[in-house]
């Protein structure tokens, strides 16, 4: 297949492109900069220049492809205060990508998240997010719209990714926690630290996206989760050991000052299973778990 990938030079996309190429597919990647275009060309992919705001470009590339994997999201503005703007831009991009795929039975795979599912219980693939009009639920409604494309002749699927997709080179949640610990002189966790986050290694996640494009049935919900839930206190202890810092609890009242933008996420207890995903696609994560990956030390190398 010729597969069009948005976010192709990003954290997961840069692992997905070689995954697809090695499996015999052709890849066209969306690139918004010269450096991204050069990286894709070096990897062996074709390049379409543009951004997720260039809706005509997205629609044209989707029309020429045998399938689409949509990884791009405006994380830069989402985590600097405008999540609603990022989510609304994502919905427009999804609509543009989806239209040329109607009545073709071609795959459309969307990267989404596990936020919005009922906290405090192990979330399964059959659990649906709450859409309540909040900024966060805009992205949830987009994922539901993609699933509904199955009724329009699109082999659509949604990969709900664990909040931490870890690996060497990660600049996400784990790297941010390490930076906060260095800055504050303590490795902190919120409250008693018993709350759990699911986790997945980026290379395992990339393989899941490839399998979804190849064979996920229309309307599939997939969980990009290798570990059901890792306690945040355990994460803090590994960080503290590597940085030789004390490990301490941070109260909810002090969390915004201590963790800044991370504080809104660190209290979440959001374990999730991958049972149906494993059975449906024969996907079996093989890469190191989160604590093992942290213990390898690469998160603690200074740039």
Query: Does the structure show a pLDDT above 80 at 72?
Result: yes
More confident residue, 240 or 303: 240
Please state which of the ranges 44-53, 62-71, 108-117, 168-177 shows the lowest mean pLDDT. 108-117
Model-level pTM greater than 0.85?
A: yes
pLDDT at 75: 82
Find the helix packing angle between 55-64 and 83-98, rounded to 10°: 40
pLDDT at 303: 62
Q: How many CB atoms lie within 10 A of CB 97?
A: 25
For residue range 221-256, list pLDDT tens digits in order. Answer: 999 999 999 999 999 999 999 999 999 999 999 999
């Amino acid at each position: 297949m010729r597969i069009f990938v948005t976010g192709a030079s990003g954290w997961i996309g840069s692992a997905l492109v070689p995954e697809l190429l090695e499996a015999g597919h052709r890849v066209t990647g969306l690139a918004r900069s010269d450096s991204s275009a050069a990286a894709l060309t070096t990897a062996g992919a074709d390049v379409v220049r543009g951004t997720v705001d260039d809706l005509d470009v997205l629609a044209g590339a989707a029309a020429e492809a045998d399938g689409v994997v949509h990884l791009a999201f405006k994380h830069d503005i989402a985590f600097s205060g405008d999540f609603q703007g990022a989510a609304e831009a994502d919905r427009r991009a999804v609509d543009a990508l989806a239209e040329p795929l109607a009545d073709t039975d071609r795959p459309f795979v969307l990267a989404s998240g596990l936020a919005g599912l009922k906290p405090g219980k192990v979330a399964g693939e059959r659990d649906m997010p709450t859409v309540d009009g909040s900024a966060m639920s805009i992205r949830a409604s987009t994922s539901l719209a993609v699933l509904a494309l199955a009724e329009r002749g699109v082999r659509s699927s949604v990969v709900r990714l664990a909040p931490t997709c870890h690996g060497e080179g990660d600049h996400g949640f784990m790297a941010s926690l390490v930076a906060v610990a260095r800055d504050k002189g303590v490795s902190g966790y919120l409250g008693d630290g018993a709350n759990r986050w699911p986790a997945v290694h980026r290379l395992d996640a990339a393989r899941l996206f490839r399998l979804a494009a190849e064979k996920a049935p229309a309307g599939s919900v997939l969980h990009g989760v290798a570990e059901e839930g890792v306690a945040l206190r355990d994460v803090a202890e590994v960080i503290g050991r590597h940085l030789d810092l004390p490990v301490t609890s941070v109260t909810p009242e002090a969390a915004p000052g201590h963790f800044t933008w991370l504080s809104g996420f660190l209290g979440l207890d959001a374990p999730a299973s991958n049972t149906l995903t494993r059975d449906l696609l024969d996907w079996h994560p093989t890469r190191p778990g989160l604590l093992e990956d942290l213990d390898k030390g690469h998160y603690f190398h200074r740039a």
